[in-house]
Amino acid sequence: MVRKYVIGNPIETDSVVESISPESGALPYFNAYKEQKSLTLNMDKSARVYGLGETVRGINKRGFLYVSNNSDDPFHLEEKVSLYASQNFFLYLGKDMAFGMYVDTPGKVSFDIGFSDINVFSIIFEDFDADIYVIDGESMVDIVRQFRKIIGKSYVPPKWAFGFGQCRWSYMSSKEVKEVADNYDDLDMPIDSIYLDIDYMERYKDFTVDKDRFPDFEEFVKEMKARNIHLIPIIDAGVKIEEGYDVYEEGVKGDYFVKKENGERLVAAVWPGKVHFPDFLKDDAREWFGNKYKVLIDKGIDGFWNDMNEPAIFYTEDHLKEVFEQIEEYKGKNLDIESFFAFKDLVGSIDNYPEDYKRFYHEYKGKRYRHDKVHNLFGYNMTRAAGEAFDRICPDKRILMFSRSSYIGMHRYGGIWCGDNRSWWSHLLLNVQQMPALSMTGFLYSGADIGGFSADVTEDLLMRWTEFGIFTPLFRNHSAKGTRRQEYYRFTDKESFRNILNLRYAFIPYLYSEFMKAVDNNDMLFRPLCFDYAEDEMAVEVEDQLFVGESIMVAPVYKQNASGRYVYLPEDMKLLRFRSYDDYDVEVLDKGNHYVKAALNEVLVFVRKGHAFPIARPANRVGDIDYSGIKYECYECTQSAYKLYDDDGITK
Ligand code: GLC
């Protein structure tokens, strides 16, 4: 049962698609304090909290503070309270009560889950205006289903987007991109897409292609398509200010850019230098920007990633002016403890400066809102612009789309990637822990930069990370400019990388089938063990194993130099220890704790009793997977225990 409660005067977010009449009584479970703009609940000792989408720390969110305030922050440290997303849905499981809650408010909101007081859960609002949905159900899975039903079906990508994608910030030319494709093909390693980062553009201008470095782009896209490799360009939120640049000029003419209080267009800066931000919240601006994707679609492009849409701001013209003026005051001074740190803070405050987010306004649903009041809707509406346009431009065809910033509602238009992580073992674990919370909130087509974006990856970390990444719908190896090159063919043990990539393709029939069922039934693709075993005290504490779909559990190795790991089985399971598609050990393990060996090149898959796990013969492209050759690994069941979903992978 879903009940809606209204606090104050909430701004509509378009995240909920069902119309639910508000209740008149008091909000259940939490006490509301209007003065403090907060809701408070006393948690019992054993209470656990799940959800909130893409955040730091573990699966059970108790014991920390999470602030929904979409942020461009490349340091996903344990102490960070905000990342790129606001996905304000959580599940509370106490001794005597369990419920789900969706806090629908587009501004800043904090979830203090036992941070200030270990026994108190407070939700603290910047503006005490929100639609709150309280969901009761038979089980955690049931509560999630009810929630997902009210927010609408998750986005479905084309099936080829389940193939492997190679990305790198610094593919400078079509020649370099072709070399990447050649290397994969020459080494017989599967690949379905190569991503184009900002360097394909002409001086970082959206919807342009650099003619010198990517000459005859259309022909190049065609050439790659003929090899069944998709090119996926990035689109950034800021539009370069430049006379003669059509996107800029149209934006000015159509009055599509965000403005300051005095009516001037905001001048911010990102990759291309000074930019204007389209007002994605305004219907006509959204339609205009969305139509721009056609420029690239007409060149044969069928997938995109939307970036810097929190929005990330290197500086605004206004703040930079303030900083330069203030710097004058420090010149020639003997800087002491106070003044030196004040000076340092001043200079360090330039990018993503909180006050800058209060300098501009949106025209939204017939009203004018200061940006910070609707901040968390910006990336959502950029991706919505694209999604709505795809429906107009190619109504029958699926286009790949995922975004960095998000809000619930965006899950209907695209997936997400988890932003600028680092080549750290702890970020491999973070990837594992973020997946179920993303599943819960409807962001099914998601994944992290495999191998880590910043910092230099090592071969063992990349291998372990890939062994987990082969289970995430978005399966992309991405790294930052200036870091060690991270394409699989650059490492010593190419054979193991090939085998692991092949396993991904062997598992695609299952992953795609389970993904589509999760979309259809509003289910989670990734579930913590306790979602299926709520009464199992051991399962409740497991934070590094996940059920993936109905038939399997994964237990990735995420520690340096480990040659195995402890695994808890909440039921008897059949272990498949894969070295490759046709080289694997099979062992039946009883419910309980086990130490399971897993050499660096081995992938552990646990098949559940009474379930079947389909495995296809690997192929180098998703389209070449031969479904007639699928075998089933069954544990005390027949293959009829599994219903394999498939479709043409491209029509909507
Ligand atoms: C941002 C993105 C990253 C991309 C880079 C350059 O940091 O998160 O994925 O490579 O910008 O476009």
Helices (H), 333-377: 337-348
Centre of ligand 1 from the C-alpha of residue 311, in Å: 13
Question: What would the pLDDT profile of 549-601 be if each residue is shown by its tens digit?
Answer: 999 999 999 999 999 999 999 999 999 999 999 999 999 999 999 999 999 99
The C-alpha atoms of residue 349 and residue 109 are separated, in whole angstroms, by 22
The C-alpha atoms of residue 13 and residue 86 are separated, in whole angstroms, by 12
Q: Quick one: how far is CA 376 from the chain centroid?
A: 15
Structure tokens at 604: 């552990």
Please report the pLDDT score of residue 637 as a whole number.
86
Q: Which atom in ligand 1 lies closest to the alpha carbon of residue 449?
A: 9
Q: Which atom in ligand 1 lies closest to the alpha carbon of residue 74?
A: 7
Please report the pLDDT score of residue 641 as a whole number.
87
Instruction: Judge whether residue 156 has pLDDT over 90.
Output: yes
Centre of ligand 1 from the C-alpha of residue 479, in Å: 9
Instruction: Judge whether residue 429 has pLDDT over 90.
Output: yes
Q: Which atom in ligand 1 lies closest to the alpha carbon of residue 197?
A: 12
Nearest CA to ligand 1 atom 4: 169
Please report the pLDDT score of residue 431 as a whole number.
98
Structure tokens at 78: 């344990």
Q: Which of 220, 337, 219, 320 lies closest to 273, judged by CA?
A: 320
Centre of ligand 1 from the C-alpha of residue 419, in Å: 8
Instruction: Judge whether residue 194 has pLDDT over 90.
Output: yes
283-297 and 246-253 are packed helices; what angle lies between their axes, rounded to 10 degrees?
160
Centre of ligand 1 from the C-alpha of residue 420, in Å: 7
Instruction: Judge whether residue 407 has pLDDT over 90.
Output: yes
Centre of ligand 1 from the C-alpha of residue 307, in Å: 7
- In degrees, rounded to 5, the angle at the alpha carbon of residue 323 between the alpha carbons of residues 321 and 328 is 100
Centre of ligand 1 from the C-alpha of residue 198, in Å: 8
Q: Which atom in ligand 1 lies closest to the alpha carbon of residue 234?
A: 12
Alpha carbon distances (Å) from 462 to 319, 403, 471, 528: 40, 23, 15, 24
Please, are residues 467 and 148 in contact by the beta-carbon 8 Å criterion?
no
Centre of ligand 1 from the C-alpha of residue 238, in Å: 13
Q: Which atom in ligand 1 lies closest to the alpha carbon of residue 453?
A: 9
Centre of ligand 1 from the C-alpha of residue 601, in Å: 29
Question: What would the pLDDT profile of 22-44 be if each residue is shown by its tens digit?
Answer: 999 999 999 999 999 999 999 99
Please, are residues 188 and 495 in contact by the beta-carbon 8 Å criterion?
no
- In degrees, rounded to 5, the angle at the alpha carbon of residue 392 between the alpha carbons of residues 388 and 398 is 75
Structure tokens at 376: 């968390």
Give this prediction's pTM.
0.98
Mutate to test the pocket of ligand 1, among 172, 304, 307 (most ligand atoms within 8 A of CB): 307
Average of pLDDT values for 156-166?
99
Instruction: Judge whether residue 358 has pLDDT over 90.
Output: yes
Sign (positive or negative) of CA dihedral 617, 620, 625, 628: negative
Please report the pLDDT score of residue 345 as a whole number.
94
User: 10 Å Cβ neighbour count for 187?
Assistant: 13
Which amino acid belongs to residue 461?
L
The C-alpha atoms of residue 280 and residue 278 are separated, in whole angstroms, by 6
Centre of ligand 1 from the C-alpha of residue 422, in Å: 12
Average of pLDDT values for 389-417?
98
Local structure of 515: helix, strand or coil = helix
Cis preceding linkage at 157, omega within 30: no
Instruction: Judge whether residue 47 has pLDDT over 80.
Output: yes
Nearest CA to ligand 1 atom 3: 420
Question: What would the pLDDT profile of 52-105 be if each residue is shown by its tens digit?
Answer: 999 999 999 999 999 999 999 999 999 999 999 999 999 999 998 999 999 999
Average of pLDDT values for 307-317?
98
Q: Which of 455, 383, 347 lies closest to 84, judged by CA?
A: 383
Mutate to test the pocket of ligand 1, among 70, 76, 84, 169 (most ligand atoms within 8 A of CB): 169
Mutate to test the pocket of ligand 1, among 72, 205, 453 (most ligand atoms within 8 A of CB): 453
Instruction: Judge whether residue 191 has pLDDT over 90.
Output: yes
Residue with tokens 């740190």: 341
The C-alpha atoms of residue 477 and residue 144 are separated, in whole angstroms, by 30
Instruction: Judge whether residue 424 has pLDDT over 90.
Output: yes
Question: What would the pLDDT profile of 488-507 be if each residue is shown by its tens digit?
Answer: 999 999 999 999 999 999 99
Which amino acid belongs to residue 577?
R
Centre of ligand 1 from the C-alpha of residue 171, in Å: 13
Centre of ligand 1 from the C-alpha of residue 210, in Å: 18
Which amino acid belongs to residue 69?
N
Averaged confidence pLDDT in the chain? 97
Centre of ligand 1 from the C-alpha of residue 169, in Å: 7
Contacts of 362 (CB under 8 A, 6+ apart): 258, 279, 281, 282, 368, 369, 371, 374
User: 10 Å Cβ neighbour count for 102?
Assistant: 24
Please, are residues 546 and 608 in contact by the beta-carbon 8 Å criterion?
no
Tell me what percent of the residues of the chain surpass a pLDDT of 90.
Answer: 99
Q: Which of 190, 187, 49 lies closest to 623, judged by CA?
A: 190
Give me the residues paired with residue 39 across strands: 32, 123
Q: Which atom in ligand 1 lies closest to the alpha carbon of residue 198?
A: 12
Mutate to test the pocket of ligand 1, among 72, 73, 84, 197 (most ligand atoms within 8 A of CB): 197
Q: Which atom in ligand 1 lies closest to the alpha carbon of residue 236?
A: 12
Please, are residues 69 and 84 in contact by the beta-carbon 8 Å criterion?
no
The C-alpha atoms of residue 171 and residue 234 are separated, in whole angstroms, by 12
What lines the ligand 1 site, CB under 6 Å? Answer: 169, 197-198, 234, 307, 404, 419-420, 453, 478
Please report the pLDDT score of residue 638 as a whole number.
79
Mutate to test the pocket of ligand 1, among 196, 234, 235, 305 (most ligand atoms within 8 A of CB): 234
Instruction: Judge whether residue 639 has pLDDT over 80.
Output: no
Which amino acid belongs to residue 409?
G
Cis preceding linkage at 311, omega within 30: yes
Which amino acid belongs to residue 342?
A
